[in-house]
Structure formats: structure tokens, C-alpha cells
Amino acid sequence: MAVTGWLESLRTAQKTALLQDGRRKVHYLFPDGKEMAEEYDEKTSELLVRKWRVRSALGAMGQWQLEVGEPAPLGAGNLGPELIKESNANPIFMRKDTKKSFQWRIRNLPYAKDVYSVCVDQKERCIIVKTTNKKYYKKFSIPDLDRHQLPLDDALLSFAHANCTLIISYQKPKEVVVAESELQKELKKVKTAHGNDGDCKTQ
């Protein structure tokens, strides 16, 4: 079963953990050299950050690629006030999950809710967001479903709009909920260090 396969790869990965600033930071090293770093809320076990790093064909360490969490401002320190203001007006896409749903937020979208269309593209295994006024278009996948080899279901998809933010939710299939619960049990077995330094061995 695919879900079991992914969970097993997490179980067998080399893991280190650090408790810092109310977050449990877990670093995974897989046999193929890939790295994954996650951060969970210490009290609720809610996933706050997930990012990946892959070595190049020549063995060089690549940059961290964010999957879940809020992206850091790009080069804000080098921009003048006018450029920063202009940049902040552009749509900002981020993923922030809940216990029951995968969830994405797209900020700085001021249009009324009926302008948006959010649907599943079964052929490309992705979600497509577009507006009838053709001002915004984006498609994105759900890596969790790909890892678990689960189908996308339109019935699990919903969206809302408030305060210039489009909120897209996809209800987690029961297989994912079970796998995440099992992973939390597994992470409790990992010896957790306490420290004040940076990310848990993600440098």
C-alpha cells in the first residue's frame, strides 16, 4: 500500500529533533541523500513548516525548497520603500495546513468570491485557480497525495474569500490522517534536544 510505503520511508529515515521557541523541529535524511525538515507546534503538533533539499548530480547541496509554511520576503533588505510597497501588492501564495485539511492562502486578491474558479485537473493531478476577469491564474499540486499515490477528488475541495485573501481547502483523505497520526507516534520516539541555535541541522 502506497501510504504504508511513504510512512515506512519516514520511519527508516535518519531523524534528529530539536525543541526551540515552542516548535519541534525534525530533520530527516533519506538513503538517497534527500533531506526534509519539518517544524511542528509543540502543544498542538500542527505542521507549521516543511521544506526539502536535494543534492545535485555532482553532489553539491541545493537550496531548501519550501512546501508548507510562509515564505520569507525575498531581498526586502535591498529594496527601497517604493519597491517594497509594490512587491507587497502582488499576490502571495502560501500553504498552511490544519489538522483536517490541506490549506492554501493567496493574499492580495481583492476580487469578489464569484470571480474565482477553483477546480481539480485530474489529468495533471493539480488544482487550478483562475479568475473570470483573467487577472490571476495558478496551478499547484498536492505533494502529499502524490507521495501516498491517492487520487484527487473535487468533492473534497472548497474555497472562501475574505480580507483580500483566497483560502483554498482540500479535506485530507482518511489515509493521510491515519498516516500523520502514526508519524506523530513515531516522532515521540525520537530523542529531542533543547537548544537556542538555528534550524535542527538544516544548514
pLDDT tens digits, one per residue of 161-183: 999 999 999 999 999 999 999 99
Does this model's pTM top 0.75? My answer is: yes
Under 8 Å between Cβ of 14 and 179: no
More confident residue, 200 or 139: 139
**Cα–Cα distance, 41 to 20 (Å, whole number):** 10
